[in-house]
Structure 1
Amino acid sequence: MALQGESATRHEAHAAATAERKKPPIYARLGVQIVVGIVAGVALGFIAPKLAIDMKVLGDIFLRLIKMIVAPLVFLNVVLGIAAAGDLKNVGRIGLRALIYFEIVSTVALAISMVVANLSGVGAGMHLTQSAEAAAAAHAQYGKAGPASFEHFLLTLFPDNFVGAFANGSLLQVLVISIGFGAALLMLNKDTRTSVEGGLTRMSECFFKFVDVIMKFAPLGAFGSIAFAIGSSGMNAVISLGYLLLVMYLTLALIVVVVFGVILRFYGFNIFRFLRYFKDEIFLLFATASSESALPRLFEKLERLGCSRQSTGLVLPTGYAFNLDGTSVYMALCTLFLANAYGVPLDLHQQLGLLALMLITSKGAATVSGGTFIVFAATVTASGILPLEGLPILFGINRFTSQAVCICNAMGNAVAALVISRSTGEFDENAARAEYQRVFGAAPGKVI
């Protein structure tokens, strides 16, 4: 018995030593590599701006790789999420809760941002004047972003080509296709449905392995993107609009820490521990300034955190189209910035009208090529009262605003997936506690 006990002890010690050897060194961790890439990019941007600008190609290549994988991942996860739900009634239950949640949180984010913009007086000291010629030129350039009418937004939801929606990267159209395909899958007989679902599951697993391969290039992408941002804009462009940036970053932090924190606390989670869990994704989002860059990893980590596949598969992709809280903050602050900078008075009635308009246009950020700034340009055009001439000024700091906006967007959707999963009874708390213990090395308390 003693020999057996000693043998078991040696076996456990050997297993522990093996696990310790398998743990990657600190320099091999993705988060550390991304931070190193960011620091190196900032340094190069200041030391050799011209060379730093040429590094843009590294960031562009990485973003192209990410964008390439997003549409098929969204399709597979939505379809498999619907299949996991088991019936259309359950899909509708999850979807309805998600849409109600999205609209409430987006409205809160917009309202808070409008209040902050009015109190802070962003843009008030610039005293800019709009010329008729510049207004006409700006309209010709940015008017192509498309009308912000509800009819136009509704029309963009429905693709006229199955493959075209994937080729164009139109997330809303891919969502419509995915929901329709998932509904059709539930209507198949059991044997056929099992066969198709099994094939899609294997494809999904393969795509996630593909994501792991792409993520090896994340540090290089982070380096190239940051180097270009610093090298091309320099500190002068940042300082000239520094107050707007400061107010925007503080407002976005307020939304994340307070609004999301209150929501998570209600569902038994701590916001700071939640953000620590996604720290690698936050570094990646900051470096690339693209919400899409973290989407594949959010799918994986949310499921490991206890969210059901049907919840993440339905809520996360839908949230990337309908729940852009960071975009809401950006649009509200920049709207008041333009009005103040050009001396355009906006009474309460006009501001409420703009808020209603932004509730619609902010939902279209994923459908318009160019992202948040182009959608904002379309909103300014549609308003008819804001100066278009100010858009190029805001574009000069677009890179720096996008970094914080995309973090808020992505974390808002991660919170939404957790909330919907927990509120529908499809959350595994034991899995969440085990995952936190694995990551942080200590069992969480009553609040996860």
Structure 2
Amino acid sequence: MPTTISDPASLPHPTTATPSTAKPKKKSLWTNLGFQIVVAMVLGAAMGFVFPEVAVQLKILGDIFLRLIKTAVAPLVFLCVVVGVTSAGDFKRVGKVGLIAMLYFEIVSSIALAVGLLAGNVLGVGKGMADATKATLAQGKAPTGAAAPHSTLEFILNIFPDNFIGAFARGELLQVLVIALIFGAGLLHLSPEKRQPIENGLTKISDAFFEFIHLIMLVAPIGTFGAVAFAVGSSGSSVLLSLIYLILSFYAVVTIFIAVVLGTISAVFKINLLQFLNFIREEIYIVLGTASSESVLPRLLEKLPTYGCSRQSVGLVLPTGYAFNLDGTSIYMSMGVIFLANAYHVPLDLGQQLGILTVMLLTSKGAATVSGGSFVVFAATVAATGVLPLEGLPILFGVYRFMSIAIATANVIGNSVATVVTAKLAGEFDPEMARHALARLQAERAGAA
């Protein structure tokens, strides 16, 4: 029996929560956030090509936007998880959703790593690039501390916080998740009379944070413009032609992964992937512009419940997926390993590649908890292997910004699909609400056309 979910009118886009039979108000195209993001991306790219010196200075606009978003990510994760745990009513229900999610994460992450390794070998990324790497290494330098290895024990230890406030201040999502789960379990042990006012208070605070995000999203196009202008202005003219093949190959592999792997998963669980991608279209535009999956986490926490997933499942699965289900990061890491091996003529037999894949199964889970994101975790993995050259890291760092767009997009789409699949498997999904959400969205966009 699907979980009863709050009135959609209290969720995102309240002005569109009217019945699908009502005639939506006509909206101008320029008021649509997705349209604004696309225009900002085009203008930013043009600025980067025409005025690269000025464009580099616009990085601050993208940084300001991401900083504002990050201020709300950790508190929202905490609030959504705690409310999800207490709304579940008992910890067995929470455990059921969590177990299903973790099994799904491990299976799909392993597939993503294998796809990256296979594609890297078949496409031959990095072959014949020795001259290009030498030229780049003469100018580049790996980021400080990027090569520091992170052992499995260190990763496990880092999951558990040593300071309640510190976990929020550092933006350690895994630690915030642990705090939220324990805090939620503590609330469940209180009597209903004591628990009710605390639940109500947390729900109201959560609503306030969502309004906080709504205000920040008004400046998303400005942040996107600055981020894209900086990326093109700082790297567009210096990217070596020999690396274009790697970038294009990576985008092709990510596209194939989304279409084939996630498409197959969606078909098995009766999810129309194209309709679902259309449903989260604005979030995808934001990720394409900012190259950050964190920039849309608050919006997805609010939007996916309107698609039919219970608030409990969204609050538990989506934040956890940001740490444990990074499909784009997995593909990037495995293709990056093959690129370095080919570029520096380091032979890797099947046994060595499978061994590196096992290492990446662990290190890829730390991308959300290590400062610097996917590249720093990749660099740590390269150091941990002991067979790949650290000297190859600067050349990959030079084009990481371009690849990070596809990485973040794949991570967001993968986690959104994972949330819906987990909700269905756990009986936390309402298909009728999903149909209504798609109908409302179609009516809204038709009215804006």
TM-score, length of structure 1 as denominator length: 0.91
Shift of 1:427: 0.5
Instruction: Verify: 1:91 aligned to 2:94, yes or no.
Output: yes
Choose the corresponding residue for 1:32, options 28, 32, 35.
35
Deviation at 1:39, TM superposition (A): 0.7
Of 326, 329, 337, the match for 1:327: 329
State the distance in 2 between where 1:97 and 1:73 align.
Answer: 23
Tell me the alpha carbon deviations over residues 378-417 of structure 1, each in whole angstroms, 9 at most, x when there is no partner: 1111111111011110011111000010010011110011
Does 1:46 pair with 2:49? yes
The structure with higher relative contact order (CA 8 Å, sep 6+) is: 2
1:239 to partner: Cα distance: 3.2
Change beyond 3 A, Cα 1:344–1:143: farther
Q: 1:249 aligns with which of 224, 227, 251?
A: 251
1:278-297 equivalences under 5 Å are 278-297=280-299
- Indicate yes or no: 2:353 matched with 1:351: yes
Q: Is contact 2:340–2:389 with CA below 8 Å preserved after alignment?
A: yes
Q: Using the TM superposition, give the Cα deviation of residue 316 of structure 1 relative to its aligned residue in structure 2, in angstroms.
A: 0.1
Match of 1:268 in 2: 270
Matched, 1:399 2:427: no
CA contact 2:147–2:380 (8 Å) conserved in 1:
yes
* Paired position in structure 1 for 2:130: 127
The Cα of 1:144 is off from its aligned counterpart by 5.5
Instruction: Tell me how far 1:146 sits from its aligned partner.
Output: 3.8
Tell me if the contact between 2:61 and 2:223 (Cα under 8 Å) persists in the aligned partners.
yes
Work out whether residues 146 and 377 of structure 2, in 8 Å CA contact, stay in contact via their aligned partners in 1: no
Asked if 2 retains the 8 angstrom alpha-carbon contact of 1:128 and 1:342, the reply is: no
| Contact 1:45/1:230 (<8 A) preserved | yes
1:230 aligns to 2:217 (yes or no): no
Match of 1:110 in 2: 113
CA distance in 2, matches of 1:242, 1:287: 20
The CA deviation at 1:300 is: 1.6
Matched AA of 1:355:
L
Which consecutive aligned stretches of 4+ in structure 1 deviate over 2 angstroms post-superposition? Answer: 19-24, 127-131, 141-148
Structure 2 counterpart SS, 1:70: helix
In structure 2, the CA distance between the partners of 1:59 and 1:138, relative to structure 1 (3 Å rule), is closer
The SS at the match of 2:329 is: helix
Output the CA distance in 2 between the equivalents of 1:246 and 1:363.
Answer: 25
Q: Distance in 2 between matches of 1:222 and 1:379?
A: 30
Distance 2:270 2:133 in 1: 51
Alignment partners' CA distance in 2, 1:393 and 1:130: 6
Match of 1:378 in 2: 380
- Asked if structure 2 preserves the Cα contact closer than 8 Å seen for 1:130 and 1:387, the reply is no
Aligned-pair identity (%): 55
Q: List per-residue Cα deviations over 1:233-262 (Å, max 9, x = no partner).
A: 124406331111111111111111111111
Q: Distance in 2 between matches of 1:192 and 1:386?
A: 57
CA offsets per residue over residues 101-130 of structure 1, 9 Å max, x none? 000000011111111111111001112599
Distance in 2 between residues matched to 1:355 and 1:129, nearest whole Å: 27
Rg comparison, structure with higher value: 1
The CA distance in 2 between the partners of 1:21 and 1:154, in whole Å, is 50
CA distance in 1, matches of 2:237, 2:27: 37
1:273-312 Cα deviation digits (max 9, x unpaired): 1111111111100110001001111112210100001100
Show the counterpart of 1:3.
Answer: none
Unaligned runs of 5+ in 2: 1-17, 445-449
CA deviation digits over 1:294-347, x for unaligned, max 9?
A: 111111221010000110000000000000010000000001000100000001
CA distance in 1: counterparts of 2:241 and 2:318, whole angstroms: 36
Contact 1:128 1:343 in 2 (8 A): no
Q: Is the CA contact 1:142–1:374 (under 8 Å) kept in the aligned structure 2? A: no
Q: Which runs of 5+ in 1 are unaligned?
A: 1-14, 443-448
- Which of the residues 307, 310, 313 maps onto 1:308? 310
Contact 2:258-2:410 within 8 A present in 1 as well = yes
Q: Counterpart amino acid of 1:182?
A: G
Count, aligned residues: 422
Structure 1: distance between partners of 2:401 and 2:199: 40
Root-mean-square deviation (CA), in Å?
2.0
How many Å separate the matches in 1 of 2:147 and 2:204? 39
2:75 maps to 72
Secondary structure of the 1:343 match is coil
